[in-house]
Structures are given as structure tokens and as C-alpha cells.
A and B are shown apart, each in its own frame.
Chain A
């Protein structure tokens, strides 16, 4: 496969999330990747939006939040450079459950969900590899949530 986007390809090849994928798949993902730059205050997506993309953050700080009348914006968590977000791309029927607001100017790579799903249906090996990686993302988020539910810092060690 020709190297259509060598800069994206180099970045993805060095990113721990994509480590172990074969060069053909990395090149395909690099070609699919759409650079996205957002200024502080802009939204990457809103609650209720379709899960049409997933993202790799190259720079910036993004906050997942939910708005509640009378209480304003409740912060769920923040995501930083290097993180992957938008795991719900795997399920086309799922919609975004939180807003994603940019706190510090963000530079991301966006991957069109439908194209990735189509490719995964044709290439189950790639599909399995991506499922493993996104399962890790989901597991880490779940673990972090449980950790925070314990309210560890509120107790004496």
C-alpha cells in the first residue's frame, strides 16, 4: 500500500494504542485519519450526538461533562494528550452520553466509525485487535471510576 499520509502513519505507529498492528492496517488508519483542531471552549461533541467517530488526542485537554439544571456542568473526567476517546464507535446505535468540551486547545485525529466498522467486518483480525484495544480503554475507565467511587483520599490512609 502506498504511503498516503506518512506523518499520520509515523504518529500512529509510535502510539502505544496501535502498537502491534501490522503496517498495512496502520497505513489504512493513517489514510483515514482526519486532523481536527479545536480551540478552548469549543465542543468536540455533545450529549445525544451519534457515535460517528473515534479520536486520538495529540495535544490539549478535553473535559467530559454533563449539564444538570440547577447544578450547571458536572465534570466526569478530563482526557489528555495521547488518550483515545469515543469507544462507542463500535456500536452504531449508541449515542454520546456526555458533552466533550475543549479546555486547552486540542489537536486530534478523527476516525470515521462507519469506515472502520466496515473494514472490521471484512477483516476480523483487525476487528479483534481493535476490540482488544478498546476493551482496555473501557476497562481503564471503569477501573478509574471505581477507584474514585471509593473516595480514597477522604479517608485516613
Chain B
């Protein structure tokens, strides 16, 4: 099971801390990455998988997963897709502007538990940013893990996030020359695309894994995660080794308001990362 992170925010969790936008990177037509620095100079330590509440002043708050390197906490990095009023305002921020930050909140990925075995990460669409801190961790501690795979599905080649890093990771995540740890597929592509076209779950059968010693971490649309779970279980992985990052309507981020309730869990407080058995009976249930 996932344990709560042991480093709670130092201040009142409902009080945003002001951060300055140090850099904005336009990733795609509707996705931007913000690099933030605390005005008080104190770094925001976090564990891969955790999220913060980002406050666009005068507009509102939105939960956003941290997409940066946990070993470089002086730069707090978020990759945001513009899907509503708040995220549109966040994506529109420019260098030097100020944003409010609460957190970090929630559970992290099971990096300690995964140590010594193989790791499979499955990301769909905007699901890659919450896994990027895991990739950085694996790169920092590469020899402590076995084979590593990143399966990434996107709508089109133009929607692929971090394309330069994906190319680098193909080499840096590899344990042996010639292996391909990064497998990318898209739903639709122009003729010039020379990569895979198809669903991300279609990449699972080709993986070389030790199923008894493999931890899987996945983020994406819930339908995608349900099919991914099925595909991984068919490959012989065990349910307790499958971890999913869930998304619900998170508002307070500390389990007060109940907006993000998923059965017996509050996604903001007990998640967002859950081991599959914790979601037993709740994944795919229409009423929640």
C-alpha cells in the first residue's frame, strides 16, 4: 500500500505561498511548463507523484502534479494543460509574475518498493508530467533498478510532451546498448511520422519483464488505466505491484471538503497514487 508522505507542508496548508515564475516553456499548443521559485527562498521539498494547488490570483486554484526533479527542489516545476479558466490563466503566466502555491499534497510513487526490480511506467496524454519525477529519480539511481520501460501514448505527434527528453531517455534509461526503454505511440499521425500508431496498451505484450519483480506506475484517462491494468495482469504482474494516479475534483487538498471522494478514499489526501488493491471495486464504478 502507499504510505503518506512524511513531510507535510510547514505552514498552514490552506495558506498559499507566493512563488515567482522563473521560466515558462510552451510545450504544445495547449500545454505549458512553469518553473517557479519561492519568494521566501525556501525550497519546496516533494516526493515524485505529489501535487500542489496552484493559485492564479483573482481566478482560482487548480491541483497540478509536480513534473520536476525532486532532488532539485529549489525549482518547482509544473506542466499544465489549459482545459478551464484556472489552468488557462496559469498557462498564460509570464516570467516574473507571481502565483500562489499550497502543498505538496498526497501520496507518492512507490520508488522504495520498486527498488531492485523492473519498472514499467505507462502514461497517456497529459499523464507524462506526473511520471517525469520518477524518471529523474530512476536516472539518479539507475543502477538500483532493473529494466525500465516508459510507454507513452499521445493523440498526435504534435501532442507529445518533452520530445527532446524522450530521445535522451531512450539512451539514459537503457541498461544495455540496443534496448529501447522508451516506447511511444500515437492515435493519429501524418505520413511523415515513422513511429508507432496505436493504443498504448498494445505496447505491453512486447515488453521483456520479470513479472514477479516488476512495479508498474500509470497515469492517464481512467479507461486507459483500466485496459493497462488488464494488460499487465495478463503479463503476470501482481495486483499489489500496480499503482495508479487517480484524478478527481480536488478542491481543499487536505481531505476537508470531500469533493474528491472515491469510495472510502479522499484522492487528495489518500492518493493521488493508489495501489490497485486499494481501488478494489471503485475503479470504473460509474456512481463515483
Q: Which of B127, B155, B191 contacts A151 (CB 8 A)?
A: B155
Give B165-201 as 1s and 0s: 1 = Cβ < 8 Å from A's Cβ atoms: 0000000000000000000010111110111111101
Question: Closest Cβ of chain A: how far from B222's Cβ, in Å?
Answer: 7
Q: In the complex where A81-B206, A147-B223, A151-B155 touch, is A157 in contact with B199 (Cβ < 8 A)?
A: no
CB-based closest 9 A-B pairs = A153-B125, A152-B221, A153-B155, A156-B83, A77-B198, A144-B199, A73-B191, A78-B196, A148-B187
Q: Give the number of residue pairs across the A-B interface with Cβ within 8 Å.
A: 76
Q: Whole-angstrom distance between the alpha carbons of A26 and B153 in the complex? A: 35
Kindly state whether residue A150 has any CB partner on chain B within 8 Å: yes
Question: Closest Cβ of chain B: how far from A43's Cβ, in Å?
Answer: 15
Q: Whole-angstrom distance between the alpha carbons of A118 and B25 in the complex? A: 61
Chain A neighbourhood of B224, CB < 8 A: 147, 152
Kindly state whether residue A36 has any CB partner on chain B within 8 Å: no
Chain A neighbourhood of B189, CB < 8 A: 75
Chain A neighbourhood of B83, CB < 8 A: 156
Extra A-B contacts (8), CB below 8 Å, given A147-B227, A153-B159, A157-B125:
A61-B196, A75-B191, A103-B194, A150-B223, A152-B125, A153-B154, A153-B221, A156-B83
Chain A neighbourhood of B155, CB < 8 A: 151, 153-154
Kindly state whether residue A70 has any CB partner on chain B within 8 Å: no
Chain B neighbourhood of A76, CB < 8 A: 197
Kindly state whether residue B124 has any CB partner on chain A within 8 Å: yes
Q: Which of A77, A150, A155 contacts B197 (CB 8 A)?
A: A77
Q: In the complex where A75-B188, A78-B196, A103-B194 touch, is A152 in contact with B124 (Cβ < 8 A)?
A: yes
- Write the chain B residue with the least CB distance to A145: B199
* Among B154, B196, B223, residue most surrounded by chain A Cβ atoms (within 10 Å): B196
Question: Closest Cβ of chain A: how far from B109's Cβ, in Å?
Answer: 17
Kindly state whether residue A16 has any CB partner on chain B within 8 Å: yes
Which A residues form the contact surface with B (CB < 8 A)?
16, 61, 63, 65, 72-73, 75-78, 80-83, 103, 140, 143-144, 147-148, 150-157
* Among B153, B190, B195, B197, residue most surrounded by chain A Cβ atoms (within 10 Å): B197
Kindly state whether residue B74 has any CB partner on chain A within 8 Å: no
Kindly state whether residue B126 has any CB partner on chain A within 8 Å: yes
Q: Whole-angstrom distance between the alpha carbons of A61 and B124 in the complex? A: 22
Q: Are B125 and A78 in contact (CB under 8 A)?
A: no
Q: Whole-angstrom distance between the alpha carbons of A152 and B188 in the complex? A: 12
Q: Which residues of B221-240 are within 8 A (CB) of A? A: 221-224, 227
Q: Are A157 and B126 in contact (CB under 8 A)?
A: yes
Chain A neighbourhood of B154, CB < 8 A: 153
Q: In the complex where A75-B191, A82-B205 touch, is A157 in contact with B220 (Cβ < 8 A)?
A: yes
Q: Which of B125, B190, B197 contacts A63 (CB 8 A)?
A: B197
Kindly state whether residue B202 has any CB partner on chain A within 8 Å: yes
Kindly state whether residue B247 has any CB partner on chain A within 8 Å: yes
* Among A63, A153, A155, residue most surrounded by chain B Cβ atoms (within 10 Å): A153
Q: What are 29 contact pairs spanning A and B, CB under 8 A?
A: A16-B205, A72-B191, A73-B191, A75-B190, A75-B193, A75-B197, A77-B198, A78-B195, A78-B198, A80-B196, A82-B205, A82-B206, A83-B205, A144-B201, A147-B199, A147-B227, A148-B187, A148-B188, A148-B198, A150-B223, A151-B155, A152-B124, A152-B221, A153-B221, A154-B155, A156-B83, A156-B126, A157-B126, A157-B220
